[in-house]
A and B are shown apart, each in its own frame.
Chain A
Amino acid sequence: MFLIPNAVVRFFHRMASPPHFYAFTDKVMPWLMIIFVLLTGFGLYGGLYLAPSDYQQGDSYRIIYIHVPSAWMSLFIYMVMAISGAIGLVWRIKLAEIVAISSAPIGASFTFIALFTGSLWGKPMWGTWWVWDARLTSELILLFLYLGVIGLYGAIDDKRVASKAVAILALVGVVNIPIIHYSVEWWNTLHQGPTVTKMDKPSIHISMLIPLLLMALSFKFYYLIALIQRIRIELLKRERNAQWVKAKVVEQH
C-alpha cells in the first residue's frame, strides 16, 4: 500500500462496505447527473448544430457522435468488468463482484448500440446494412461474449458462485479479445469482397473532434450513473437481510 496516500486507501476500504457505498452514492448521484446532462447538452449541440457537415457524407456522418463513443464504451466496459472481476476473485470484495456483473448488461447495450448505429450508417454510405468488415465482426463477437457473461450469471443460482464464474469468464475473454480481433482482421483482408468497405479516414477537423470527445466523456458518465443504479439495486437484493437495509426501508415509510 506504499505510494498511495493513506486517505485514498481508507476511502476505498470504506467504499467496499455496502452501507457506506449506498450512502455515498446517494450524495454523489445528483452531481453526476448534472455533469452528464451538461456534457451531453454541449456535445450534442456541438455535434449536431455547430460542426460543419462533411464534404463527402453530408449530414449523415453525424451519427458518429453516438456510434463511436458507444464502440469505445463497449471495449472499456469489458475491461472494467474483467478488472473488477479479478479484484473480486483475489481479494473477495463483494462490491467488486457486483461492479463486474452490473457492468455486463450496460456493456452489452453499448455494443448493441454501436452495431445498430453502425448498420444505420452503413446503409447510406456502403449501400448495405451489414458487411463482414473486421471491426463489425469483432464487435459482434464481443456482443456474444457479453451475452455469455450475462447468461452464465443468470444460470447459476448461488449469486456469489455466479460472480466468481463470471469473473473467470471475463478474464478468459480479455485474453481472447485481442486474438479474436486480429484473427478477424486477418480473415477480412484475405476474404475481402469486391465492395470497398474501408473508408479512408481523413484526419478529423477540430470542430468535429471536440463534440466527439465531449460525447465520449458524457457516455462515460452515463455508464457511471447506470452502473451505480444497478449496483444499488443489486446491493439491496443481496443484503436484504442486513440491518442497514432494514433501517433504510423503515426510513422510507
Chain B
Amino acid sequence: MALFYAFIAIIRRDLLLAVRRRSEIANPLLFFILVITLFPLGIGAQPHLLQAIAPGIIWVSALLAAMLSLDSLFRSDFDDGSLEQILLSPYPASILVLAKIIAHWLVTGLPLLIVAPLLAVFLGMPTQSLGVLLLTLLLGTPVLSLIGAIGVALTVGLRRGGMILSLLVLPLYVPVLIFAGNAVEMAGSGLPVDAQINILISILCLSLVLAPWPTAAALKMSVN
C-alpha cells in the first residue's frame, strides 16, 4: 500500500510541477503544430497529396515531438538531486520510474491527442479515420514515452545528450510508427484495422512491463 502512495505522490508532484511551469506542456504541442504546418509549405498544397500522406506526417511529427519532450523527463530531477532521493527510497526504482513516465506522458503526450483532430482536418484527412488516429495516438504515445525513458536515462548524465538521444531512440520507435501510421491509412480507405490496433495494444503492454527495468538500471548508472 505504501508503494501505491509513493507512486501516486510522484505523479501528483510531477503534474503539479508541470502546471506551475506551463511552457513544458506548451512546447511539444507548439512543435507538433509547427512541424505539421511546415509540410504543406514544403511539398505544396495539393489536397490529394496532403490527404495521402497525412497519417505519416501526423505520426512522424508526433514522434519528433515526443522525442524532443523527453529531455524534461529526468533533467530537472537530475540537476537538483531529487532523482537520487527517488532511487534511494526503499521502494523498487522501476515502479517509481514508471510513475514519472506516466506523469510525463500526461503532460506531453496527452495534449497531442487534443490537437491531432484539428491538424488532421488541416491536412484534409477523411473523417472516418479521425477516431482511429486518436486511438493510435492514445496507444502509441505512451510507448514513445516508455521507450524514450530508457534513452533519456542513459544520456541524462551527459552535457550534450540531445543528438545521441535521437540516435538511440528513433530506431526503437519504428514498430510504433509502422503500425500506427498504417492503421490510420487503412481506416482512411475504409478497411478494418483490428490487427494493427491489437498489435499496438500488445506493444504497449510489453513496454509497460519491460521498459521501466532498463530505465531504472540506466538511471542508477547515470546517477552513480
Contacts and interface: CB of A to CB of B under 8 A. Distances in A.
Interface of A: 89, 141, 144-145, 147-148, 151-152, 155-156, 161, 164-165, 168-169, 171-173, 175-176, 179-180, 183-184, 186-187, 190
A240 B203 CA distance: 46
B218 A165 contact: yes
B178 A169 contact: no
Pairs A-B, 4 closest by C-beta atoms: A183-B175, A144-B171, A187-B178, A148-B168
Contacts of A171: 214
Among B167, B168, B170, B210, chain A packs the most CB atoms within 10 A around the CB of B168
Contacts of A176: 171-172, 175
A175 B168 CA distance: 14
A161 B214 contact: no
A59 B192 CA distance: 46
20 contacts: A144-B170, A148-B164, A148-B171, A151-B167, A155-B158, A155-B164, A156-B157, A161-B157, A161-B222, A161-B224, A169-B150, A169-B154, A169-B168, A175-B210, A179-B175, A179-B203, A180-B172, A180-B175, A183-B175, A184-B178
Interface of B: 150, 154-155, 157-158, 160-161, 164, 167-168, 170-172, 174-175, 178-179, 182, 199, 203, 210, 214, 217-218, 221-222, 224
Contacts, number: 72
A141 B178 CA distance: 13
A183 B174 contact: yes
A141 B170 CA distance: 10
Among B164, B167, B214, B222, chain A packs the most CB atoms within 10 A around the CB of B167
B174 A180 contact: yes
B114 to A, nearest CB: 27
Contacts of B178: 183-184, 186-187
A152 B174 contact: no
